[in-house]
Structure 1
Amino acid sequence: MAYKISDECISCGACEAGCPVNAISEGDGKYVIDADTCIDCGACADACPVGAPQAE
């Protein structure tokens, strides 16, 4: 079960920097997580100041 970034995303990039497998990239208006690459570690959620990444 991968993480997904909600609409609460403020596009700060903290989640991308915190991802150990580079599964996060800048999308159209918010960051997105590649579900096939995500290892469900939660590092993105810990790094996010607004709690946008959430487990699906």
Structure 2
Amino acid sequence: MAGHHGGTGTVTIPEKPVRRRLKNLPSFVVTRGGEYCFVPGLRALRWIAELED
């Protein structure tokens, strides 16, 4: 749903009684940057919590 596909994307909309398929949709997502985020594991969080000031 989100991402660059060069205008060749196809989306299926589940409808009743017949599904609807949209083809060759133009790109509507523009990437302006990126970010890597992480959270320490539980073991590391416990270790951090036990540190003395």
Which TM-score band applies after superposition, normalised by the shorter structure? Answer: under 0.3
Which structure has the greater CA radius of gyration? 2
TM-score, normalised to structure 1, is 0.19
User: Larger relative CO (CA 8 A, sep 6+): 1 or 2?
Assistant: 1
